[in-house]
């Protein structure tokens, strides 16, 4: 497949593909001349001509000057994720549903998965700014629901609403960068936004722990409602983008959005994860468990039929998803995020159950991992800007990062030094995988045409969110299964079942056990968590193997 040059998209670029009814700017229609350039140069002369457009120059200056404002939403999204990761045990214990705690994250990532590609297409119809404002509103509504709910079911539903908002807060800002920032600089500017993500990631854990130990976890979500209002007002008043110029009414463009495909994808993943969760916590022979797992087959067939035959603009475009180089990038994103998110989610559980930390201490224990990941993205952006090459950078960083994560697996087996082992693995692994993730976004954008840039970027976020949902659920299922098997082999079956049932309700149940029995339970829990960490490193290894199928493109200055 010949290398296709990539042009910078603008606020007017059709995210729905090169459709005759959706042309918004004649300048972006004439791509033939650009395709006569060097096959290895993804920054064509057409891009230079577009940059000279006064409207585009004005948009670029505004986006650059408003990075702090755009970063508010990024910081808020990462703040929420780190808070939930740090205090998920306390939330589950308070609602007496600890065994369902993984769904706090899974519900969020499932709706994020479905919404992110749709945001890309809706933003082409209605504009970037309205979609970003809608995302803030949905996140605020979801946060309010999380703060006032009195049941795990209500919390999961509110988290699903939050996920719709969180998906837009991340993807729309990323697409804005693709609109106005040159390809070679994009990694750097994405890394700048990741600094705001770092602020949220590093502060979320300690704040979550402190709030849990003082006024309660609900206030963490209620405060996010106030932060959403700040972001909503700031973006509404200060972000001004070039107006759209579409000859096609929005009502005629809406039917081209593949909402059915998005819904089917969520149902497939939900059915699989629900079946796995119910099988590990209730019974693998339950009709509901079997039915949930089996339903994935006809749903998958329906999804493929919609995507290949019926969807005007497929939710997952085949020419993008199944391109050899792009599919390798998406695979890396899926497995990399599955491992990364699962580690962040279950590290606090290790800190509290095995090391006996307080919630605040467990939240602070996430800081090295969060900071390291952001340092990696910044470093990756700087190297990419300097060298213009991403293939060997990503391959070497991913390989070293997987090996560097091994100390995390070893930690539960150590009597002393387990915390140092965790921090060593977090720093080495997350810095290097942060470099890889930055390179992956550039690899994706550089291998598609201008009209496919936003859709391809949205697909990258789809695979990341999907990987996050699957990773948290699968690792949680493994931990629960290993815990149950170890308890049944170490204790009387009835006693083991009693303890499993107690742990499924609250972490406090472990602290209330007699000292000798508490030691046995913690050892069994440590074995389960170690198995979960080992799965994370295995997922990192699969992610690394995908990098070697990427296709290098030279990035011009």
Structural contact between residues 140 and 169, judged by C-beta atoms closer than 8 angstroms: no
Predicted confidence (pLDDT) at residue 336 exceeds the cutoff of 90: yes
Q: Which of 45-59, 71-85, 455-469 has the lowest mean pLDDT?
A: 45-59
The tokens describing 301, both together, are 């067939």
Predicted confidence (pLDDT) at residue 10 exceeds the cutoff of 90: no
Q: Note the pLDDT of residue 143.
A: 93
% of the chain at pLDDT higher than 90:
20
Predicted confidence (pLDDT) at residue 142 exceeds the cutoff of 90: yes
Instruction: In whole angstroms, give the CA distance from residue 2 to residue 224.
Output: 47
- Burial readout 365-389 (b: 16 or more C-beta within 10 A, e: otherwise): bbbbbbbbbbbbbbbbbebbbeebb
The tokens describing 425, both together, are 């693995």
Q: Which of 116-125, 176-185, 321-330, 407-416 has the lowest mean pLDDT?
A: 176-185
pLDDT, tens only, 425-445:
999 999 999 899 889 988 888
Mean pLDDT along residues 463-474: 87
Q: CB pairs under 8 A, 24+ apart, for 318-325?
A: 319/452, 320/448, 320/452, 320/455, 320/456, 320/459, 321/459, 323/1, 323/447, 324/1, 324/549, 324/551, 325/443, 325/447, 325/549, 325/550, 325/551
| 352 vs 10 pLDDT, higher one | 352
HSE-CB of 330 using CA atoms within 13 angstroms: 22
| 494 vs 406 pLDDT, higher one | 406
Predicted confidence (pLDDT) at residue 452 exceeds the cutoff of 90: no
Mean pLDDT along residues 140-150: 93
Q: Note the pLDDT of residue 96.
A: 81
- Burial readout 439-474 (b: 16 or more C-beta within 10 A, e: otherwise): bbbbbbbbbbbbbbbbbbbbbbbbbbbbbbbbbbbb
pLDDT classification of 519: cutoffs 50, 70, 90: confident
- Nearest Cα to 103, choosing from 183, 157, 46? 157
% of the chain at pLDDT higher than 70:
82
96: left (phi over 0), alpha (psi -120 to 50) or beta: left
pLDDT classification of 328: cutoffs 50, 70, 90: very high
CB within 8 A of 114, min separation 6: which ones?
Answer: 167, 262, 263, 265, 266
Q: Note the pLDDT of residue 16.
A: 37
Q: Report how many helices (DSSP H) and strands (DSSP E) the chain contains, helices first.
A: 23, 0
Q: Note the pLDDT of residue 58.
A: 60
Q: Which of 121-125, 148-152, 522-526 has the lowest mean pLDDT?
A: 121-125
Instruction: In whole angstroms, give the CA distance from residue 169 to residue 416.
Output: 42
Q: Note the pLDDT of residue 448.
A: 83
SS (H, E, C) 97-113: CHHHCHHHHHHHHHHHH
Predicted confidence (pLDDT) at residue 247 exceeds the cutoff of 70: no
Structural contact between residues 261 and 316, judged by C-beta atoms closer than 8 angstroms: yes
Q: Note the pLDDT of residue 14.
A: 36
Backbone φ and ψ of 43, nearest 5°: -110, 100
Q: Which of 3-7, 53-57, 144-148, 190-194 has the lowest mean pLDDT?
A: 3-7
Instruction: In whole angstroms, give the CA distance from residue 249 to residue 473.
Output: 42
Mean of per-residue pLDDT scores for the chain: 79
Predicted confidence (pLDDT) at residue 15 exceeds the cutoff of 60: no
pTM reported for the whole predicted model: 0.76
Q: From residue 251, how far is each of 114, 158, 254, 293, 314 by CA, in Å?
A: 22, 30, 6, 38, 18
| 158 vs 113 pLDDT, higher one | 158
| 326 vs 212 pLDDT, higher one | 326
């Amino acid at each position: 497949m010949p290398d296709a040059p990539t042009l910078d998209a603008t606020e007017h670029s059709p995210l729905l593909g090169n459709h005759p009814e959706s042309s918004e700017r004649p300048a972006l229609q004439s791509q033939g001349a650009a395709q006569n350039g060097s096959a290895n140069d993804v920054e064509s002369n057409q891009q230079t001509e577009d940059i000279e457009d006064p409207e585009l120059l004005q948009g670029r200056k505004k986006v650059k000057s408003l990075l702090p404002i755009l970063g508010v939403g990024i910081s808020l999204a990462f703040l929420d994720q780190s808070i939930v990761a740090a205090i998920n045990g306390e939330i589950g214990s308070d609602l007496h549903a600890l065994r369902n705690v993984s769904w706090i994250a899974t519900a969020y990532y499932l709706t994020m998965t479905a919404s992110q590609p749709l945001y890309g297409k809706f933003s082409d119809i209605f504009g970037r700014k309205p979609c970003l404002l809608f995302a803030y509103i949905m996140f605020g509504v979801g946060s309010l629901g999380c703060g006032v709910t009195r049941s795990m079911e209500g919390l999961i539903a509110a988290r699903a609403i939050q996920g719709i908002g969180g998906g837009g807060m991340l993807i729309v800002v990323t697409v804005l960068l693709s609109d106005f920032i040159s390809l070679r600089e994009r990694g750097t500017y994405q890394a700048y936004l990741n600094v705001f993500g770092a602020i949220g990631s590093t502060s979320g854990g300690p704040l979550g722990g402190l709030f849990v130990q003082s006024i309660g976890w609900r206030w963490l979500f209620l405060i996010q409602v106030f932060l959403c209002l700040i972001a909503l007002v700031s973006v509404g008043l200060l972000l001004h983008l070039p107006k759209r110029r579409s000859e096609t009414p929005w009502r005629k463009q809406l039917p081209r959005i593949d909402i059915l495909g998005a819904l089917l994808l969520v149902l497939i993943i939900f059915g699989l994860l629900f079946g796995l969760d119910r099988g590990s916590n209730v019974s693998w022979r339950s009709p509901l468990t079997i039915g949930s797992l089996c339903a994935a087959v006809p749903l998958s067939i329906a999804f493929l039929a919609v995507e290949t035959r019926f969807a005007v603009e497929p939710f997952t475009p085949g020419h993008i998803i199944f391109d050899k180089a792009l599919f390798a990038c998406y695979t890396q994103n899926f497995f990399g995020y599955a491992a990364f998110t699962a580690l962040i989610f279950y590290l606090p559980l290790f800190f509290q159950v095995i090391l006996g930390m307080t919630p605040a201490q467990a939240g602070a224990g996430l800081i090295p991992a969060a900071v390291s990941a952001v340092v990696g993205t910044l470093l990756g952006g700087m190297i990419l800007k300097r060298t213009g090459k991403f293939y060997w950078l990503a391959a070497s960083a991913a390989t070293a990062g997987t090996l560097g994560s091994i100390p995390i697996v070893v930690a539960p087996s150590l009597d002393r030094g387990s915390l140092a082992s965790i921090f060593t693995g977090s720093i080495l692994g997350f810095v290097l995988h942060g470099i890889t993730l930055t390179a992956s976004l550039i690899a994706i954008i550089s291998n598609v045409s201008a009209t496919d840039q936003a859709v391809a970027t949205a697909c990258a976020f789809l695979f990341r969110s999907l990987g996050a949902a699957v990773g948290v659920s699968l690792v949680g299922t493994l931990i629960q299964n290993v815990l149950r098997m170890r308890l049944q082999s170490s204790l009387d079956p009835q006693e083991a079942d009693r303890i499993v049932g107690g742990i499924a309700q609250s972490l406090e149940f472990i602290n209330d056990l007699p000292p000798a029995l508490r030691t046995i339970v913690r050892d069994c829990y440590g074995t389960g968590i170690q198995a979960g960490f080992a799965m994370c490193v295995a997922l990192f290894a699969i992610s690394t193997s995908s990098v070697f199928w990427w296709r290098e493109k030279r990035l011009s200055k």
